[in-house]
Amino acid sequence: MMAGGNARYVRYIAIAIFTLALFYFVSNSKYDAAAIRAGITKAGGSTQTETQQPPTDGSSGDTKQPPQQKPPQQKPPVKNNKDGEISTTKKPPAGDAKEYPLALSPEDPKWDVDLVGIAPGPRMNATFVSLARNSDVWDIARSIRQVEDRFNRRYNYDWVFLNDKPFDATFKKVTSSLVSGNTYYGEIPKEHWSFPEWIDQEKAKKVREDMAERNIIYGDSISYRHMCRFESGFFFRQPLMLNYEYYWRVEPSIELYCDIHYDPFRVMAETGKKYSFVLSLYEYVETIKTLWDSTKKFMKNHPEHIAEDNSMGFLSDDNGDSYNHCHFWSNFEIGNLDWLRSKPYMDYFESLDQDGGFFYERWGDAPVHSIAAGLLLNKSEIHFFNDIAYWHVPFTHCPTGEKTRLALQCHCNPKENFDWKGYSCTSRFFDINGIAKPEGYENQQD
């Protein structure tokens, strides 16, 4: 009887101590959590709403000024990889191109820095750009996470989002929390996302019905056609895009499989590149039946725009008589916006737009950009980024060469690399440019 009572008494004390300890622990850790959360709040909560807005009141209108920079940041100290010093700013430490040379391969000096902290060196006048619907939010979130983890968390470039409808609060909240640079949201004006007045609606409708019957992918879609026309002729002219010289296009649900050690924008700027790609292939003929005829008409009307050292050999097997349907896949692009805004490109786009093939067929922005790059640029202005490993359903670019894949900590399966397969045009790109194909390409031909 006595023993039993004692045991119960001891048990009560043990429970009391445990409860007290638990209470103490929980209240203390709550305190810590609050402190940590305050520390990582992006740019201080007060500036967040500001940075979510475009530089002017709306997305359209005349914005000639560059986007405002975020005010000085209260960020947790970041370890800067230069010599382990602690830096508290988000902007890169001062350092010019000479001090921090581009390290493009493991043999180059300063390649072997740890990929932590903010990358030293200059920044280009550049932004990421994504066209998206509100319903794309989780798919674009996946893409952003990949781009940030493999590259932008060390470079903090801006990101512009464009939509034919207003972006909703969730879209802005989720995307701005993921992007390490400033985010801007633009609404596309109606004139850039509708039928031009010269389009015969009846004729366009018949085409859609016919393509639907023949099961041509997106053949019956009006919005897909607006999208292709917008990406062909308008995204680079949106007020928010006028603030930049270079862009990197990112679509929903893409993957990046390797670390990006160097700044691709800098490669573009310092080597005079205007357009770049990672995947190329043959276009679906049914969607572009008369695109080459329209192109030939343009070439005849504007011989002054055709570059002397162009890439006709990439586009045509008979010196321009017919199109071989090769194009760079435009869901990935890093390019020069000033080139797209130039007279040669604009004359080409306007000539195509007049012919109506965005609606009377289903011309894609990929062949349009590619033909423009192939004819209006010199060969040396188009770049293939072997180092940027990429997937957009259903094709993969996984760098050829084990040495590269290991150095870049890639997680793609080299067997899935599309570059040297029969349906890719990348081999042709190498051939016309007289570039040696990377070691091991023969083993990936099928």
Ligand X SMILES: *[C@@H]1O[C@H](CO)[C@@H](O)[C@H](O)[C@H]1NC(C)=O
Ligand Y SMILES: Nc1nc2c(ncn2[C@@H]2O[C@H](COP(=O)(O)OP(=O)(O)OP(=O)(O)O)[C@@H](O)[C@H]2O)c(=O)[nH]1
Q: Which residues of this chain interact with ligand Y, rule CB under 6 A?
A: 130-133, 136, 163-164, 223, 227, 251-252, 331, 393
* 390-394 contacts, C-beta under 8 A, 24 or more apart: 390/254, 390/255, 390/256, 390/257, 390/278, 390/279, 390/332, 391/254, 391/255, 391/257, 392/251, 392/253, 392/254, 392/279, 392/329, 392/331, 392/332, 393/253
Which is it for the CA torsion 315, 317, 320, 325, positive or negative? negative
Comparing CB distances to ligand Y, the nearer of 89 and 223 is 223
Comparing CB distances to ligand X, the nearer of 344 and 357 is 344
Least CB distance to ligand X at residue 93 (A):
19
Comparing CB distances to ligand X, the nearer of 184 and 395 is 184
Q: Which does 125 bind (CB under 5 to 8 A by kind): ligand X, Mg ion, ligand Y, none?
A: ligand X
Closest CA to 155 of 121, 110, 113: 121
Find out whether 172 and 183 touch, Cβ atoms under 8 Å. yes
Give the span between the Cα atoms of 204 and 224, in whole angstroms.
13
Least CB distance to ligand Y at residue 225 (A):
10
Least CB distance to ligand Y at residue 193 (A):
8
Closest CA to 162 of 184, 180, 186: 186
User: Which structure tokens are listed for 248?
Assistant: 């990197």
Least CB distance to ligand X at residue 365 (A):
21
- Buried b vs exposed e over 158-185: b needs ≥16 C-beta within 10 Å? bbbbbbbeebeeebbeebbebbbbbbbb
Comparing CB distances to ligand Y, the nearer of 48 and 221 is 221
Give the span between the Cα atoms of 95 and 123, in whole angstroms.
10
Q: Which residues contact 292 (CB under 8 A, 6 or more apart)?
A: 322, 323
Find out whether 148 and 176 touch, Cβ atoms under 8 Å. no
Least CB distance to ligand Y at residue 163 (A):
4
Q: Which does 416 bind (CB under 5 to 8 A by kind): ligand X, ligand Y, Mg ion, none?
A: none
Least CB distance to Mg ion at residue 217 (A):
12
Give residues 227-256 in contact with Mg ion (rule: CB under 5 A).
251
Give the span between the Cα atoms of 247 and 264, in whole angstroms.
10
Find out whether 390 and 333 touch, Cβ atoms under 8 Å. no
The separation between CA 351 and the C-alpha centre of its own chain, rounded to angstroms, equals: 27
Give the span between the Cα atoms of 279 and 330, in whole angstroms.
8
Tell me if 338 contacts Mg ion by CB under 5 A: no
Q: Which does 318 bind (CB under 5 to 8 A by kind): Mg ion, ligand X, ligand Y, none?
A: none
Size of the site for Mg ion (CB under 5 A): 2
Q: Which does 301 bind (CB under 5 to 8 A by kind): ligand X, ligand Y, Mg ion, none?
A: none
Residue found under tokens 């019957």: 213
Binding residues (CB under 6 A) for ligand X: these are: 66, 125, 243-245, 307-309, 338, 377-378
Comparing CB distances to ligand Y, the nearer of 280 and 331 is 331
Find the catalytic residue in 231, 333, 361, 381: 333
Q: Which does 244 bind (CB under 5 to 8 A by kind): ligand X, Mg ion, ligand Y, none?
A: ligand X
Comparing CB distances to ligand X, the nearer of 89 and 378 is 378
User: Which structure tokens are listed for 103?
Assistant: 């390290």
Q: Which does 164 bind (CB under 5 to 8 A by kind): Mg ion, ligand X, ligand Y, none?
A: ligand Y
* Active site (annotated) includes residue 333: yes
Find out whether 292 and 355 touch, Cβ atoms under 8 Å. no
Find out whether 421 and 398 touch, Cβ atoms under 8 Å. no
Give the span between the Cα atoms of 330 and 136, in whole angstroms.
18
- Residue nearest to Mg ion according to CB distances in the complex: 251
Least CB distance to ligand X at residue 245 (A):
4
Comparing CB distances to Mg ion, the nearer of 331 and 426 is 331
Q: Which does 223 bind (CB under 5 to 8 A by kind): ligand X, ligand Y, Mg ion, none?
A: ligand Y
User: Which residues in this chain contact Mg ion in the complex, by CB under 5 A?
Assistant: 251, 331
Which sequence positions are flagged as catalytic? 333
